[in-house]
């Protein structure tokens, strides 16, 4: 990307100080915006700059943002040119064909405009937010072949006319695309206003294009209605599409009026007949088709997730309670009360209550914005603020309810009670808030807000403290262990405390699920506590959540879904319950329900990075909806910059989507070099492997100095990576020694954990590296069966193991199954994956790749 200030030399002669200030502002804006778009500014020269990016889309988006930023006062006129190609960075010199073309294109730009080459236009053509206008094919100075040149036509950007481009810079249009717009039309001279209007409508084919658009839009609307009816889509999808279709018609009218004469071809009668026949045939065929959507047993047991009625319900955000206690040990008390008030309010169906995750960022009073801004960010009408102070055995809570639209204080109260009355205080607060903003409370809801979970105040305080540990960000074993101890002490004081039993069950489940303790005893403890919670209080929603989680961990997803459905009736505003329903439907392959859950959960928890990262990003990725996956991961990154997993997955998405490693390389390069987390270490090693860079991989292995790369999904001994690196170097003897070291480690671990799919896969890779083809094939089948028992989709591991074992006839069917199933895996993945190299030239592999190229 070349950027150059217009009129800098003249300004220097007129006002040197002003020229200097404008140049410094330009450099600052360019540097900051380039960095935001994951680029790098290689050089500032005088009043210009040269920047590079890993993605053409990010380069153009950066150029547009720079121009918009520099339109602000004091405005600075800038020309920008973007091209994609190779460059050479040799010391202080930067040169190459890519640099030369970008510089020539920049010189043609209008002030405040962005010109791009045809190669860049091809890269961004599927991005509606970056519209372009063709300026034709242009011969550039010192460039051998004529170049297609386009202007980015966003709001406020300078777009030159083709005739202006040909007149400047000594360039010549070789083959104009679509003619040149003239200042006037000689054919209209002498006509009256009405006659001229009619003639313009004819010349621009407005009527023909409008009819064509309406027919096409009608077909698409009917298709959407069919899909919505047969796949249980939200009515909002249909309404949104209808709105877009109507807006598109208006856009069509504008485009045909201003651009209808460019390259217009006559609409023939034959075309009209063909479009009519196709429209009737398409709609008739859709109506004749039988419904293909049959809910699974699990979906029937819990039903499709009920839709939200956001327009009818009052909405509220309860901000984190300020802790005024002198003793820091009482911090958990304010946090616990806040969480319980939220839980109580989530029981009220007439309320839309924003979840805990989304309000936590407003915990710091010094950085907390005003109430109106918070309400706009969270999409709510009402906001609650409170402070908590514990002084010995006394408790003081100040609460106020604010209408964010007017900043009016609707209700305020001070509760000065004994600490032992903490539950009564939170219940009174919840009832007062619900009564003030909800239209009505049912008898069941009133009882739910009033019931005491335990008669033992000390047990309740221990429960609050345990919940505080359980809700700490991240999945750290020490937090789970601390919560487990506190919940056990709570149930020891009050064995009838059903809520504490339910949370203790959840902690056991987390310890098992995160592989902190993957023992059968832990799984049995989870089930026992959930059963006890249900025995003590069969109507307790949290007890049904615990039992649902028990079934989920055990792989019984239909029963898990049934339990979550019961819990949702008692906690209709709980984003966590809704997300759990979405995750369970994902295991069952009920994708419409997954995305319905994502939509509803994010409306209740709009600032939860985990929802966008996992339920959103991973689900979109599994459906090869790559662009939506990238947006979801980017949203998670924006909400939690230290959620490095989201950035890494965004990089991997581009590998599957476009076969590019640049984004992943950029993500990994920006990670703190001293940061050591399993996901980051794994990403660095994988990037070196996929880049086929053995020296880089060895350097990473030396730097990390860990025995194994372990996450919830993989367990790779470092010796396995060492074997792959040696194989890339062609050192088969050293590779065999590394693979054998991995084998010894993995065989010992599998003896203790025979059903761990991660270990089985890794052992398969080790066997394949050692040339033990039959053992590798057996491991692939064994891992696949373990995955099927868990209700998971097919993974790429068996295909890679079989490829490494040089068994193409067995590997290719697995690859084909992945390409046909819900998986991120694509033809680009097949092209890029280094572990598939041994079978890359096999006839069946080549044929499969050819079949799926150009598809998702």
Phi-psi region of 684 (alpha: psi -120 to 50; beta: other; left: phi over 0): alpha
Backbone φ, ψ for residue 184 (5° rounding): -150, 170
CATH of domain 455-556: 1.25.40.10
Mean pLDDT in residue range 642-656? 93
The radius of gyration of the chain's CA atoms, rounded to the nearest angstrom, is: 31
Tell me which of 1.10.645.10, 3.30.70.1230, 3.40.50.1400, 3.40.190.10 is the CATH number of domain 2-175.
Answer: 3.30.70.1230
Report the candidate in 459, 424, 448 with the shortest Cα–Cα distance to residue 539: 448
For domain 314-450, say whether CATH 3.50.50.100 is its number: no
pTM attached to this predicted model:
0.61
pLDDT at 289 over 90: no
pLDDT tens per residue, range 417-463: 888 888 788 888 888 888 888 666 677 777 777 777 888 988 988 99
pLDDT tens per residue, range 324-334: 877 666 667 78
CATH architecture assignment, domain 676-852: Alpha Horseshoe (1.25)
Q: Which two tokens stand for residue 219?
A: 């077909």
Instruction: Count Cβ atoms below 10 Å from residue 616 Cβ, excluding itself.
Output: 26
* pLDDT band, residue 281 (cuts 50/70/90): low
Q: Which two tokens stand for residue 338?
A: 């806040």
pLDDT at 390 over 60: yes
Distances (CA, A) of 389 to 4, 422, 465: 59, 12, 16
Mean pLDDT in residue range 518-546? 94
**Rounded Cα gap, residues 523 and 159, in angstroms:** 65
pLDDT at 342 over 90: no
Mean pLDDT in residue range 85-107? 79
DSSP 372-394: HHHHHHHT-SEEEEEEEEEETTE
Mean pLDDT in residue range 702-729? 91
pLDDT at 350 over 60: yes
For the chain, what is the mean pLDDT?
Answer: 83
pLDDT at 832 over 90: yes
* pLDDT band, residue 746 (cuts 50/70/90): very high
- Non-local CB neighbours of 588 within 8 Å, separated by 6+ positions: 296, 298, 299, 557, 558, 561, 791
pLDDT at 480 over 70: yes
Report the candidate in 548, 466, 453 with the shortest Cα–Cα distance to residue 507: 466
pLDDT, position 745? 95
pLDDT, position 232? 46
Mean pLDDT in residue range 11-23? 84
pLDDT, position 293? 33
DSSP letter at 328 equals G
pLDDT at 36 over 60: yes
* pLDDT band, residue 262 (cuts 50/70/90): very low
* pLDDT band, residue 231 (cuts 50/70/90): low
pLDDT at 593 over 50: yes
Report the candidate in 126, 124, 105 with the shortest Cα–Cα distance to residue 116: 105
pLDDT, position 95? 73
* pLDDT band, residue 474 (cuts 50/70/90): low
* pLDDT band, residue 32 (cuts 50/70/90): very high
pLDDT at 14 over 50: yes
pLDDT at 213 over 80: yes
Confirm if 526 and 482 have CB atoms less than 8 A apart. Answer: no
* pLDDT band, residue 224 (cuts 50/70/90): confident
pLDDT, position 659? 93
Spans of all domains in the chain: 2-175, 195-288, 314-450, 455-556, 676-852
* The two domains 314-450 and 455-556 share their CATH topology (first three levels equal): no
* pLDDT band, residue 261 (cuts 50/70/90): low
């Amino acid at each position: 990307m070349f950027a150059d200030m217009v009129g800098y030399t003249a300004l220097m002669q007129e006002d040197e100080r002003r020229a200097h200030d404008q140049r410094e502002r330009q450099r600052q804006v360019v540097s900051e915006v380039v960095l935001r778009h994951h680029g790098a500014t290689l050089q500032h020269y005088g009043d210009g700059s040269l920047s590079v990016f890993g993605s053409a889309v990010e380069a153009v988006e950066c150029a547009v943002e720079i121009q918009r930023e520099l339109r602000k006062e004091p405005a600075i006129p800038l020309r920008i040119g973007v091209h994609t190609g190779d460059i050479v960075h040799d010391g202080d010199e930067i040169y190459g064909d890519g640099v030369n073309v970008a510089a020539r294109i920049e010189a043609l730009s209008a002030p405040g405009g962005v010109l791009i080459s045809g190669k860049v236009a091809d890269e961004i053509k599927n991005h509606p937010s970056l519209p372009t206008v063709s300026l034709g094919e242009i011969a550039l100075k010192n460039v051998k072949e004529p170049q297609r040149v386009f202007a980015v036509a966003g709001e406020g950007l300078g777009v030159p006319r083709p005739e202006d481009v040909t007149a400047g810079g000594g360039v010549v249009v070789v083959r104009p695309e679509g003619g040149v717009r003239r200042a006037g039309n000689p054919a209209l001279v002498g006509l009256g206003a009405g006659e001229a209007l009619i003639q313009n409508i004819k010349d621009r084919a407005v009527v023909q294009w409008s009819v064509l658009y309406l027919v096409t839009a009608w077909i698409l609307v009917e298709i959407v209605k069919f899909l919505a009816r047969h796949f249980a889509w939200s009515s909002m999808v249909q309404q949104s599409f209808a709105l877009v279709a109507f807006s598109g018609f208006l856009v069509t009218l504008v485009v045909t009026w201003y651009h209808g004469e460019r390259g217009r071809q006559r609409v023939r009668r034959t075309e009209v007949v063909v479009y009519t026949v196709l429209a009737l045939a398409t709609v008739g065929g859709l109506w004749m088709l039988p419904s293909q959507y049959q809910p699974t047993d699990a979906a029937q047991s819990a039903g499709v997730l009920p839709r939200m009625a956001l327009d009818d319900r009052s909405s509220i955000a309860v901000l984190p309670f300020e802790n005024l206690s002198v003793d820091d040990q009482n911090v958990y008390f304010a946090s616990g009360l806040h969480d319980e008030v939220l839980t109580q309010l989530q029981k009220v169906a007439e309320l839309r209550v924003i979840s805990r995750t989304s309000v936590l960022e407003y915990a710091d009073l010094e950085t907390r914005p005003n109430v109106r801004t918070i309400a706009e960010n969270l999409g709510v009408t009402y906001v609650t603020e409170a402070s908590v102070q514990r002084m010995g055995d006394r408790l003081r809570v100040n609460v106020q309810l604010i209408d964010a639209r007017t900043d009016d204080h609707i209700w305020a109260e001070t509760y000065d009670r004994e600490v032992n009355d903490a539950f009564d205080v939170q219940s009174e607060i919840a009832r007062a808030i619900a009564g003030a903003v909800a239209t009505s409370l049912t008898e069941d809801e009133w009882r739910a807000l009033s019931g005491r979970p335990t008669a033992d105040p000390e047990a309740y305080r221990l429960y609050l403290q345990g919940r505080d540990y359980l809700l700490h960000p991240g999945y750290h074993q020490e937090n789970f262990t601390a919560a487990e101890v506190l919940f056990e002490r709570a149930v020891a004081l009050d064995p009838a405390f059903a809520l504490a039993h339910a949370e203790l069950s959840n902690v056991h489940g987390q310890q098992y699920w995160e592989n902190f303790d993957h023992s059968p005893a832990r799984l049995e403890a989870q089930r026992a506590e959930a059963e006890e919670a249900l025995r003590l209080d069969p109507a307790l929603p949290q007890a049904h959540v615990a039992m649902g989680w028990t079934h989920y961990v055990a792989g019984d997803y239909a029963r898990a879904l049934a339990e979550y459905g019961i819990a949702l009736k008692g906690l209709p505003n709980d984003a966590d319950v809704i997300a759990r329903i979405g995750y369970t439907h994902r295991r069952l392959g009920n994708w419409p329900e997954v995305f319905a859950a994502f939509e509803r959960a994010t409306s209740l928890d709009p600032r939860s990075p985990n929802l966008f990262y996992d339920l959103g990003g991973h689900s979109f990725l599994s459906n090869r909806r790559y662009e939506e996956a990238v947006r979801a991961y980017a949203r998670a990154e924006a909400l939690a910059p230290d959620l490095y997993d989201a950035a890494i997955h965004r990089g991997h998405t581009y590998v599957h989507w476009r076969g590019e490693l640049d984004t992943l390389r950029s993500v990994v390069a920006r990670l703190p070099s001293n940061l050591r987390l399993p996901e980051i270490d794994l990403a660095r090693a994988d990037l070196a492997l996929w880049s086929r860079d053995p020296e880089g991989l060895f350097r990473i292995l030396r730097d990390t100095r860990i025995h194994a790369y372990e996450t919830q999904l993989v367990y790779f001994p470092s010796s396995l990576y060492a074997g792959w690196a040696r194989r890339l170097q062609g050192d088969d003897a050293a590779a065999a020694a590394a693979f054998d070291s991995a084998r010894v480690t993995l065989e010992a671990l599998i003896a203790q954990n025979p059903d761990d799919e991660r270990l089985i896969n890794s052992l398969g890779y080790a066997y394949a590296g050692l040339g033990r083809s039959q053992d590798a094939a057996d491991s692939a089948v064994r891992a696949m069966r373990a995955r099927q028992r868990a209700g998971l989709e097919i993974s790429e591991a068996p295909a890679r193991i079989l490829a490494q074992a040089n068994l193409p006839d067995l590997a290719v069917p697995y690859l084909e199954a992945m390409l046909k199933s819900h998986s991120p895996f694509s033809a680009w993945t097949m092209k890029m994956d280094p572990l598939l190299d041994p079978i890359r030239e096999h006839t069946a592999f080549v044929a499969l790749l050819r079949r799926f190229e150009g598809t998702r």
